[in-house]
Amino acid sequence: MTRKILHADCDCFYAAVEMRDDPSLRDIPIAIGRSREHRGVIATCNYPARAFGIHSAMPTAQALRLCPHLTLLPGDFDKYREVSRQIQAVFYELTPLVEPLSLDEAYLDVTDVEGFQGSATWMAQWIKQECLTRTGITVSVGAAPSKFLAKVASDWEKPDGLTVIPPNRVEAFVASLPVGKLHGVGPATRARLEALDVATCADLRRLPRERLLEEFGKFGQRLFELARGIDERPVKVERERKSISVETTFDRDLPDLPSAQEALAPLCDKLALRVARHGEPAIAGLFVKVRFDDFSLTTLESRGQAIDRDSYHRLLEQAWARASRPVRLLGVGVRLQPEAARQQLTLAF
């Protein structure tokens, strides 16, 4: 049976909640981020702000240069989580097969849903209307036979979009799709594909599998499949957490290693509290993340099963030595053992 997958994605979610609660914000550029006096990145922004070239993960200082009259809001994540709960409740009324990706997006497998005469299009329309009625938030939805195509479709006509790719349109749709739309293809991979005269999936199909494996390793197989619309990934009802971490962006760069080491202690304390909230997770290793003042980023990891400050200090020392520059951002975290590995250990014991 051909699968019916929906990808629902709220439009500029955090900003949308703020505009809902304060209509005066609707027509001016706004962004969720730290104040002008602090450094950080944009969590999200509304569409008037995007017209200036602002986007999520952009440094706040750069956003303010692009739009000096940008209204910055600190964000109320307790409120966002509550709205997200209301939206996800709509999803679960339709099907139990929901895979949340974040507060504002999820996959739904509606293959076996008998309501709406089995029409994925009608289900998508119902989701959009119910979310708007109950929360005041617009949701863009894509419907397709696979997760990959459903996600592409949800972004096709944003905001407030609804795009359906039925099975008989998959071949033509994928053939004309720019390779930059493929999951996992970032600027570097896109540039390498362009060097091979590949701009669309139709171009990509002309490259033999062996050539793709030679150029891109294991990812070459994924490119081979996506170029043909092949994506058999199921909707996972339970997503396995891979790591727990905390980080902070400093208002002023930490000038040297001793100042960075001093800033490490409160981060380790915060991490310990966050790990404790997850019960007793099986820890596979520790890591430190450092972003320097030139925006270069490095991460260093080690094996370990406890949040040990001395271990983090050693990791930070090695990470800092890679650039020996002032530090803009510092993060610490733990990698968690996969469930399969924990089961194997139990059987071995």
Q: CATH number, domain at 272?
A: 3.30.1490.100
pLDDT over threshold 80, residue 183: yes
pLDDT over threshold 90, residue 97: yes
192/50 Cα distance (integer angstroms): 28
Quick one: pLDDT at residue 223? 94
Say whether both 177 and 78 belong to one domain: no
Quick one: pLDDT at residue 286? 92
Instruction: Decide if 166 contacts 156 (C-beta within 8 A).
Output: no
Q: What is the mean pLDDT of the chain?
A: 90
Say whether both 258 and 290 belong to one domain: yes
- Residue 232 domain-assigned (yes or no): no
Which residues lie below 8 Å from residue 10, measured CB to CB, with a gap of 6+?
16, 87, 104, 105, 131, 137, 138, 139, 140
pTM summary value = 0.75
Residue 146 has φ and ψ, to the nearest 5°, of: -145, 160
Three-state SS for 310?
helix
- Residue 231 domain-assigned (yes or no): no
Quick one: pLDDT at residue 158? 92
Say whether both 201 and 275 belong to one domain: no
Which residues lie below 8 Å from residue 284, measured CB to CB, with a gap of 6+?
303, 305, 334, 335, 336, 337, 341
- Residue 238 domain-assigned (yes or no): no
Q: Which of 18, 82, 93, 105 is catalytic?
A: 105
What is the CATH number for 18? 3.30.70.270
Sign for the CA dihedral angle at 110, 114, 120, 124 comes to negative
Looking at the chain, the whole-number percentage of residues with pLDDT higher than 90 is 72
Q: At which of 196, 226, 256 does a domain end?
A: 226
Say whether both 275 and 297 belong to one domain: yes
Reported as a single tens digit per residue, the pLDDT across 100-147 is 999 999 999 999 999 999 999 999 999 999 999 999 999 999 999 999
The stretches of 71-205 forming alpha helices (DSSP H) are 77-94, 120-135, 147-154, 170-175, 187-195, 201-205
Q: Work out the pLDDT band at 339, boundaries 50, 70, 90.
A: low
Q: Work out the pLDDT band at 345, boundaries 50, 70, 90.
A: very low
Say whether both 68 and 117 belong to one domain: yes
Instruction: Decide if 345 contacts 246 (C-beta within 8 A).
Output: no
- Residue 312 domain-assigned (yes or no): yes
Smallest CA-to-CA distance from 150 within 122, 173, 128 is with 173
User: Annotated binding residue at 9?
Assistant: yes
Say whether both 222 and 290 belong to one domain: no
Say whether both 38 and 71 belong to one domain: yes
Quick one: pLDDT at residue 281? 79
Quick one: pLDDT at residue 349? 44
Helix, strand, coil percentages for the chain (3-state, nearest 5): 45, 20, 35
Say whether both 29 and 57 belong to one domain: yes
Across the range 300-320, mean pLDDT stands at 87
Instruction: Decide if 332 contacts 246 (C-beta within 8 A).
Output: yes
Q: At which of 122, 140, 164 does a domain end?
A: 164
Instruction: Decide if 109 contacts 5 (C-beta within 8 A).
Output: yes
Quick one: pLDDT at residue 237? 87
Say whether both 202 and 76 belong to one domain: no
Across the range 271-288, mean pLDDT stands at 85
User: Annotated binding residue at 310?
Assistant: no
- Residue 31 domain-assigned (yes or no): yes
Across the range 166-195, mean pLDDT stands at 92
Say whether both 96 and 43 belong to one domain: yes
Reported as a single tens digit per residue, the pLDDT across 185-217 is 888 899 999 999 999 999 999 999 999 999 999
Range with top average pLDDT, 7-21, 221-235, 242-256, 261-275: 7-21
Q: Work out the pLDDT band at 33, boundaries 50, 70, 90.
A: confident
Quick one: pLDDT at residue 222? 93
Across the range 158-186, mean pLDDT stands at 93
114/131 Cα distance (integer angstroms): 21
Quick one: pLDDT at residue 139? 97
Quick one: pLDDT at residue 295? 83
Q: Work out the pLDDT band at 249, boundaries 50, 70, 90.
A: confident
The structure tokens listed for 139 are 């949701």
Domain that holds residue 277: 243-345
18 counts as catalytic: no
Q: Work out the pLDDT band at 348, boundaries 50, 70, 90.
A: very low
The structure tokens listed for 110 are 């509606």
Say whether both 137 and 22 belong to one domain: yes
pLDDT over threshold 80, residue 329: yes
Say whether both 49 and 154 belong to one domain: yes
